[in-house]
């Protein structure tokens, strides 16, 4: 399988081509219901995590809630 480079939380990362967002989250042991995904500047609805696939050069931000005031 070919690897593609994406920008994940600001860092370049190699991931397999054709990976869905859901599979990407699983690779990092992240639960989809705890995470919000921004894909190339747009927020991705959770229902679409299974169908949307990452492409070369995509910018992805995976965020969650942390302690804050």
Alpha-carbon gap, residue 66 to 69, rounded angstroms: 10
* CA dist 20 → 65, 66, 67, 68, 69 (Å): 23, 25, 29, 31, 34
- Considering beta carbons, is residue 52 or 62 the nearer one to another protein? 62
Q: Which of residues 7-36 bind another protein (CB under 8 A)?
A: 8-10, 28-31, 34-36
- Considering beta carbons, is residue 51 or 67 the nearer one to another protein? 67
Report the interface residues with another protein, using CB under 8 A.
Answer: 8-10, 28-31, 34-36, 38, 43, 45-46, 61-69
């Amino acid at each position: 399988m070919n690897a593609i480079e994406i920008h994940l939380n600001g860092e370049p990362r190699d991931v397999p081509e054709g990976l869905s967002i859901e599979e990407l989250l699983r690779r990092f042991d992240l639960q989809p219901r705890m995470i919000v995904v921004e894909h190339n500047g747009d927020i991705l609805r959770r229902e679409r995590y299974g169908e949307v696939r990452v492409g070369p050069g995509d910018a992805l931000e995976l965020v969650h809630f942390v302690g804050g005031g």
